[in-house]
Structure 1
């Protein structure tokens, strides 16, 4: 089965299986390339707009990058095959990704809509009736068996990358609705499921990132039955004054450099590789590189060890590339079970406790950012972190033990200015685990390969 990939209402590319389904190639349509210069990014920086098929490896990476990961991916594959989860396993061949996107690809990350070839662009879709409290509770309780809340039997066909349990919903007049038949979603809802207070932790970190100018999409905490959930506006959606929802195109770093999701921890320095992409495609490379650098430094200050290749993204519009806002960040220092080892290096350091100002300056040098600009960025960021914490709304900081997280971030921010190692927290004597390991243990599955496993 081939797939048609639509972008902003235009049939932009077709993905075709080759070699009996063992490979897949993507090729732009003439209409899709119209208005783009040779080599300009349309769907992805790794898929240039030149005529002819793109390489199977980057084609596969782009398509797989649209799908969930881990247990959520296994559940989606099991439902598609009509078998028990234990018999399904994770999709391993390009044909699996193709079949999953044919089923779930009406609403994806960015502005793409994926349908079986020849099916045509879906209608504008529709919304369900506003969900009751009990319906929301049921959706949360059915995660991860129904990733994102997707249910093809009811026309709810959605796909979004990431291993954490989450829902995709559309908010209209303060009420939650299910997007049906390809209608755009507007918000991501992530319940606390694996790590204590993870929803509150991420809400605080993302709210702080807004104070630092690294994001501007609204985040808040919502109680749904007995669950506490993070609610975040999708930064790749824009709601006009008349209520019309527009999709904004984006891709993550793995897609941008042609790497598969399973290699997200093996990317080396994602910031350095993203800087190369921005230098090639951005209108203002130094400005965009500086934005990514600030995100790297912010994740370091708050103690987020999970800055892998799928946690940085780019916005693409009419061939112009910019850094996407910061997203999916929380302080992993709050969880002693985790290793304290970052998924990727900062300078020569990979330990959250040992990384220091010099390591961040070395990272800036590797990205091609002038030393003076990097010094200024770090000083401004430390200042914004301190003032931002003082200005966080009470609904973000109250009702859970946020004091320890706040004290940790303030201490690390101060040490950044003085040049000391940023330090960590007192570690548990239990064996160090990773985010993937803890998630897998909770669901009774083997941990995914490729995560960080060493201790600092």
Structure 2
């Protein structure tokens, strides 16, 4: 007879509850009542005595895993589990997830299960791993011994960088960096993302700390995980997990509905959620800033899973730095595809959005002050973004040209990306300034 399966759930190293799957496949999450009262797995599942089940649980555990079904299939093949069962996948790769959460098989001794090992890896070997995940759907997403799970649709690997050395993190060892070779089929996508994030940073927007690197022959964007705190003053370095979740998880929305057009959260839903949960108005302003910036760069993938909330145990929750920001301007698209992930006042197309749509968004939120903030951001970015981007692009092209392995063709492709984004920004800026007469 089938039995209920159990995973112990740890948050920042503290046991806080159990995730269970009964013989029918139903999932429940139950808090340990003796765990710290401020240790909460998700904003969608406040602490209570009764078990949580249904949409909040399913949305949370589904959201911990990679979005791409082919990546889930790779994990499933490697560990001989069901790719369509998130509980089974977390049994295999739940020791190093996004945020401070870890899932440990209840049948295993917890100290043994949380054993850690790190193995040095060269930049050439990193390049080989990146090449393998971009070159074949059958390639392994992880190496033997790795048990990490990162959500999102892009191919990526997670490694540790401490004491000046790259490591593969095995067992329950925490990774510190995410390395992405860019989206297959989109030329220079990693370079595009780097430029957009650096431009946002220079505009004063909190973003993930990133580098553009060449590993062997593979270009990639390297992001420092904001949900990890590293102490490099000791050898080996100490890495502490900090809890976080994306907005779909926090709002109890399944990954399949991450886009507003698929029934997912809208800008209005998100602002109301932040205010209903007593987030500071600075976080609301950061979200407004992200909306406006993505409008200017034609950032078409800023759905709810590409916003995250940092929730350190014992501290107030707040919006995490922005990430996964890239422009669609460099790529030829059909007019129907030229749209944002969230509508502005009911309009998705960045070519059709006018001032009246931003005013309508503010009206939907019910506040004149919101309209003032949005209009201020629109004017600020119209006046500054093209010049900030030009400076970032010029500085970046100067050092990228000297990177080993960059061919003349590679460099010209990068110049083409720069030109496309620059032209798109100029057009958007001119449109916005024309609204003021």
TM-score of the pair, normalised by structure 2: 0.84
The offset of 1:216, in angstroms, is 4.1
Shift of the alpha carbon at 1:182? 1.7
Equivalence for 2:350: 352
Output the CA distance in 1 between the equivalents of 2:256 and 2:204.
Answer: 31
Q: 1:7 aligns with which of 11, 19, 24?
A: 11
Structural mapping, 1:308-323, within 5 Å: 308-317=303-312, 318=314, 320-323=316-319
Cα pair 1:269 1:346 within 8 Å, conserved: no
Q: How do 1:253-272 and structure 2 match up within 5 A?
A: 253-265=247-259, 266-272=262-268
Residue of structure 2 equivalent to 1:389: 389
C-alpha deviations, 1:10-58, integer Å up to 9, x for none?
A: 111211113x2432011111133x333xxxx822111111221113221
CA pair 262-61 structure 1, distance change in 2 beyond 3 A: same
Of the three residues 130, 150, 155, the one matched with 1:140 is 130
Contact 2:131 2:218 in 1 (8 A): no
Q: Distance in 2 between matches of 1:64 and 1:177?
A: 28
1:362 corresponds to which of 352, 356, 360: 360
For the 8 Å contact 2:329–2:420, the answer to whether it is kept is: no
- 3-state DSSP of counterpart to 1:68: coil
Residue pair 1:61, 1:258 contacting (<8 A) in 2 also = yes
CA offsets per residue over residues 290-322 of structure 1, 9 Å max, x none? 111111111111101112221112111336221
Matched, 1:150 2:134: no
Counterpart mapping for 1:52-91 below 5 A: 52-70=50-68, 71-81=70-80, 91=84
Structure 1 length as normaliser, TM-score?
Answer: 0.81
Question: 2: distance between equivalents of 1:315 and 1:362?
Answer: 30
**What runs of 5+ residues in structure 1 fail to find an aligned partner?**
83-87, 421-456
- Structure 2 equivalent of residue 237 of structure 1: 228
2:280 aligned with 1:278, yes or no?
no
Which deviates the most, 55-64 or 198-207?
A: 55-64
> 2:329 corresponds to which residue?
333
Residue 27 (structure 1) aligns with: 30
Task: Find the partner of 1:16 among 20, 28, 40.
Answer: 20
Where does the alignment leave 5 or more consecutive residues of structure 2 unmatched? 399-410
The answer to whether the Cα contact below 8 Å between 2:253 and 2:264 also exists between their aligned partners in 1 is no
**RMSD between superposed Cα atoms in Å:** 2.4
Alpha-carbon distance in structure 1 between the residues aligned to 2:359 and 2:159: 40
In 2, Cα distance between equivalents of 1:311 and 1:332: 16
Number of matched residues? Answer: 400
Partner Cα separation in structure 2 for residue 160 and residue 368 of structure 1: 36
Q: Is the contact made by 1:217 and 1:233 (CA closer than 8 Å) also made in structure 2?
A: yes
- CA gap of 1:168–1:25, structure 2 versus 1, over 3 A, is same
| Counterpart position of 1:197 | 188
